[in-house]
Amino acid sequence: MAKVLLLNGSPHTNGCIAAAFDEMIKVFETENVGTEIIQLGGKDIRGCIGCGKCRENKKCVFDDVVNEVAPKLEEADGLVIGSPVYFASPNGTILSFLDRLFFSTPFPKHMKVGAAVVSCRRGGNTATFDALNKYFTISSMPVVSSTYWNQVHGHSAEDVKKDKEGLQVMRNLARNMSFMIKAISDAKEKYGLPQNEFGAFTSFSDGL
């Protein structure tokens, strides 16, 4: 069975992001796609310090939830990152987590399907959405879209449940994600995955 990992970056376990995830999970269940939610908001997660030890150890030097989630991501077919808007950007906790997770893990994320989900009361949603999508687009992960930007509006879970269009977007997002995961799996069996090139690493210095 295909599996999607959902990361909740909100400190409110049953808040707006959880309400959006609940709507997606209903669809994943009908599509026979397994799910696991990991609650990250509210945890004490420090940021990356650029020490480079993960290149030697194959895991982050700070042995916390980042290293716990890494093998789950390796096994997953899809990743959903959910964050509320804080000052027109994602929650700092989820950013610290993602910086370390994506930098420290040695396994490829190639062709794992990614989707960002954003919750806001009013503004800052598209900037937050853009920031989260960059983790996918630097990792050769196809990004899932929906019938509007992947966002819900409200100050509470109860508000989100009244956002009929937002909930519709979440359901369509889950359907599209399920389809992409299955389509990539089928294509992998038939054609194999596309091969990425590596080795070129260009740095520019004064005088060039």
pLDDT (0 to 100) of residue 24: 98
Q: What's the whole-model pTM score?
A: 0.95
Could you give the CA distance from residue 121 to residue 152 in angstroms, rounded to a whole number?
Answer: 8
Q: Kindly report, residue by residue over 25-56, the tens digit of the pLDDT.
A: 999 999 999 999 999 999 999 999 999 999 99
Sketch out the chain's domains with CATH numbers. 3-191 (3.40.50.360)
Three-class secondary structure assignment of the chain: CCEEEEEECCCCCCCHHHHHHHHHHHHHHHCCCEEEEEECCCCCCCCCCCCCHHHHHCCCCCCCHHHHHHHHHHHCCEEEEEEEEECCEECHHHHHHHHHHHHHCCCCCCCCEEEEEEEECCCCHHHHHHHHHHHHHCCCCCECCCCCCCEEECCCHHHHCCCHHHHHHHHHHHHHHHHHHHHHHHHHHHHCCCCCCCCCCCCCCCCC
Q: Kindly report, residue by residue over 90-148, the tens digit of the pLDDT.
A: 999 999 999 999 999 999 999 999 999 999 999 999 999 999 999 999 999 999 999 99
Could you give the CA distance from residue 92 to residue 189 in angstroms, rounded to a whole number?
Answer: 39
In Å, how far are 47, 49, 106, 199 from 55, measured between CA atoms? 17, 13, 8, 16
